[in-house]
Amino acid sequence: MDDKTGGTASIWMTVEVPTYAPLRADTHADVCIVGAGIAGLTTAYLLAREGKSVVVLDDGPIGSGMTARTTAHLSCAIDDRYYEIERLHGQKGAHLAADSHCSAIDRIEAIAKEEGIECDFERVDGYLFTPPGEPKEELDRELKAAHRAGLTDVEKVERAPIEFYTGMALRFPRQGQFHPTKYVAGLARAVERRGGRIFTGSHAASITGGSRARVETSDGRLVTADAIVVATNTPVTNLVSMHTKQAPYTTYVIAATVPAGAVHKALYWDTPDPYHYVRLQTMRSADGSAKDLLIVGGEDHKTGQAENYQERHQRLEAWARERFPIGDVEFRWSGQVMEPVDGIAFLGRNPGLDKNMYIVTGDSGMGMTHGTIGGMLITDQIMGRESPWEPLYDPSRKSLRVSGILEFVGENVNVAGQYLSEYVTGGDVGSPDEIAPGEGAVIGLGVTKMAVYKDEQGNLYKRSALCAHLGCVVKWNSLEKSWDCPCHGSRYDRFGEVITGPANRGLAPVKE
């Protein structure tokens, strides 16, 4: 499949997904969904099942955003820990979080079965372990909090069932794993079978809620709708309100061969910060042969705020080689995670006056379940049903308690620091001569900053280096060959065209 997000390719990009034409005529639907990843297509599928007419728009192929860059752990073991969720959202909130993630795994399993989607869905156990040297009491704290959240079958075990000594671990039974692009391909076909319409190569340039809700594409086509769902990983409709409540992090993944049967099939997470996450995936070739690949992720950092991107993969490989019998590394990629300040995604009605605009964002590293919860919750809201999950995930919630507020302040001080430091510095290089072929750099011209990419033939592509969202200076990402914004995570391809919001247009052209 094509990829719209970067210079690396994930293990999930080796499969073909259905292709769709761009929107070529104005149309109307009950619901217009912007974004054809797991969140958008789950929402479209569930609404189509309820008899709603749906139109899905995406500027890239289906599933080509972060859905193709996940590691597809399906888990109700929350990355931010149940004791943290309980502290920030109360015991009831933790209970709802557990219930919603478990329900999302059940729903994915049910959809795959009912729609005959062959997406390698499997139930596996998950193990959270503390490596030697890490505080052991974290597991006990988390075990008690998970039990209070209703996950009474979580248990403490002597070690995770892998070769190296992990130390004590928590076992979360009946988690899951699947192949995300096979799944969204099946979802798209199921949407079509129920009369839904999907258009790709159609960039939603303007999105307006309210009584005259409409989405206009960059080539001037119009979708009018009774409701709009913005499922673009981070919303392209909010200029400010959501982007001060979540922070973008880049995470790194490798997939390496392992001998069949050498690693017990399960999900594994350790407890350092940033942590490692591990699972197995069997890849089958057209000739029927199969091989196991160990998928290992970690090395997270704030987007646009790191150097030496390639070293992240080297460190992951070294970590994995010390612990697992891995052979060749066949895939290396990165992805972006949106971290909400209080550990819970933002799913439901968009803040503001327009009650018929909905968003799915703040995946918190659990995008497959959070995207599915978003589809389930928003379907209930559009159908006029009450959902017990609504207050927990409400994008307008006021539940940021003391520590959540500190996190909130910390992330926004970090953003303010990006503005200050980048505006007063001169740029990465002084002239294009200093840029290697195939690379990019920011050049300072007084107070102006220019993002310059030099292709392999030496041709230069120049754009303003000021992010089209709120004007932070973008950074060159040498791994993905992209321009990344350190403030709220907008990303642009090497030529300056937008890949990921909150910006909804490319870097501005420069006049010389």
- Give backbone dihedrals phi and psi of 284, rounded to 5 degrees, phi first: -110, 140
Distance between alpha carbon 492 and the CA centroid of its chain, in Å?
16
Q: In angstroms, rounded to a whole number, what is the distance separating the alpha carbons of residues 263 and 163? A: 8
* Of the residues 470, 495, 505, 510, which one makes contact with ligand FES according to CB under 6 A: 470
Q: How far is the CB of 487 from ligand FES (least distance, A)?
A: 4
Choose the binding region for ligand FES from 103-111, 369-377, 476-484, 485-493 (rule: CB under 6 A).
485-493
Q: In angstroms, rounded to a whole number, what is the distance separating the alpha carbons of residues 329 and 332? A: 7
Comparing CB distances to ligand FES, the nearer of 391 and 471 is: 471
Q: How far is the CB of 293 from ligand FES (least distance, A)?
A: 33
Choose the binding region for ligand FES from 69-77, 147-155, 387-395, 467-475 (rule: CB under 6 A).
467-475
Choose the binding region for ligand FES from 187-195, 201-209, 356-364, 469-477 (rule: CB under 6 A).
469-477
* Cβ atoms of residues 422 and 434 within 8 Å: no
Residue with tokens 């220019």: 450
* Of the residues 60, 297, 348, 502, which one makes contact with ligand FES according to CB under 6 A: 502
Choose the binding region for ligand FES from 45-53, 328-336, 340-348, 487-495 (rule: CB under 6 A).
487-495
Choose the binding region for ligand FES from 109-117, 133-141, 440-448, 463-471 (rule: CB under 6 A).
463-471
Comparing CB distances to ligand FES, the nearer of 286 and 420 is: 420
Choose the binding region for ligand FES from 93-101, 290-298, 355-363, 462-470 (rule: CB under 6 A).
462-470
Q: Nearest Cα to 346, choosing from 386, 385, 383, 374?
A: 374
Q: Say which amino acid occupies 446.
A: G
Residue ranges in 342-441 assigned as alpha helix (H): 367-382, 390-393, 402-424
Q: How far is the CB of 234 from ligand FES (least distance, A)?
A: 9
Distance between alpha carbon 410 and the CA centroid of its chain, in Å?
22
Considering only residues 237 through 266, tell me which ones interact with ligand FES, judged by CB under 6 A. none
Choose the binding region for ligand FES from 39-47, 48-56, 195-203, 481-489 (rule: CB under 6 A).
481-489
Q: Is there binding between residue 485 and ligand FES (CB under 6 A)?
A: yes
* Of the residues 100, 246, 490, 504, which one makes contact with ligand FES according to CB under 6 A: 490
Comparing CB distances to ligand FES, the nearer of 45 and 453 is: 453
Comparing CB distances to ligand FES, the nearer of 471 and 506 is: 471
Q: How far is the CB of 374 from ligand FES (least distance, A)?
A: 21
Q: Is 254 helix (H, G, I), strand (E, B) or coil?
A: strand
Considering only residues 66 through 95, tell me which ones interact with ligand FES, judged by CB under 6 A. none
Q: How far is the CB of 507 from ligand FES (least distance, A)?
A: 10
* Of the residues 81, 397, 469, 475, which one makes contact with ligand FES according to CB under 6 A: 469
Q: In angstroms, rounded to a whole number, what is the distance separating the alpha carbons of residues 134 and 271? A: 7
> 277-281 — which CB contacts under 8 Å span 24+ positions?
277/71, 277/73, 278/320, 278/324, 279/71, 279/72, 279/73, 279/124, 279/177, 281/11, 281/120, 281/177, 281/179, 281/255
* Of the residues 472, 498, 499, 507, which one makes contact with ligand FES according to CB under 6 A: 472
Q: How far is the CB of 486 from ligand FES (least distance, A)?
A: 8
Comparing CB distances to ligand FES, the nearer of 221 and 469 is: 469
Q: Say which amino acid occupies 298.
A: G
Q: Is there binding between residue 205 and ligand FES (CB under 6 A)?
A: no
**Residues 6 or more apart from 94 whose CB is under 8 A from it?**
82, 85, 86, 145, 148, 149
Say which DSSP state 474 is in: P
Element (H, E) at 462: strand 460-464
Rg of the chain over all Cα atoms, to the nearest angstrom: 22
CB atoms within 10 A of CB 401: 13
Comparing CB distances to ligand FES, the nearer of 280 and 503 is: 503
Q: How far is the CB of 460 from ligand FES (least distance, A)?
A: 23
* Of the residues 38, 160, 280, 467, which one makes contact with ligand FES according to CB under 6 A: 467
Number of residues in contact with ligand FES under rule CB under 6 A: 12
Q: How far is the CB of 299 from ligand FES (least distance, A)?
A: 22
Q: Nearest Cα to 176, choosing from 43, 98, 81, 72?
A: 72
Q: Is 188 helix (H, G, I), strand (E, B) or coil?
A: helix
* Cβ atoms of residues 417 and 373 within 8 Å: no
Q: How far is the CB of 206 from ligand FES (least distance, A)?
A: 18
Residue with tokens 């699947």: 178
Element (H, E) at 453: strand 448-454
Q: How far is the CB of 207 from ligand FES (least distance, A)?
A: 17
Q: In angstroms, rounded to a whole number, what is the distance separating the alpha carbons of residues 430 and 448? A: 13
Both ends of the chain: CA-CA distance in Å? Answer: 37
Q: Is there binding between residue 487 and ligand FES (CB under 6 A)?
A: yes
Q: Is there binding between residue 337 and ligand FES (CB under 6 A)?
A: no
- Give backbone dihedrals phi and psi of 306, rounded to 5 degrees, phi first: -145, 165
Q: Is 401 helix (H, G, I), strand (E, B) or coil?
A: coil
Q: Is there binding between residue 96 and ligand FES (CB under 6 A)?
A: no
Chain residues that interact with ligand FES, rule: CB under 6 A: 467, 469-472, 485, 487-490, 502-503
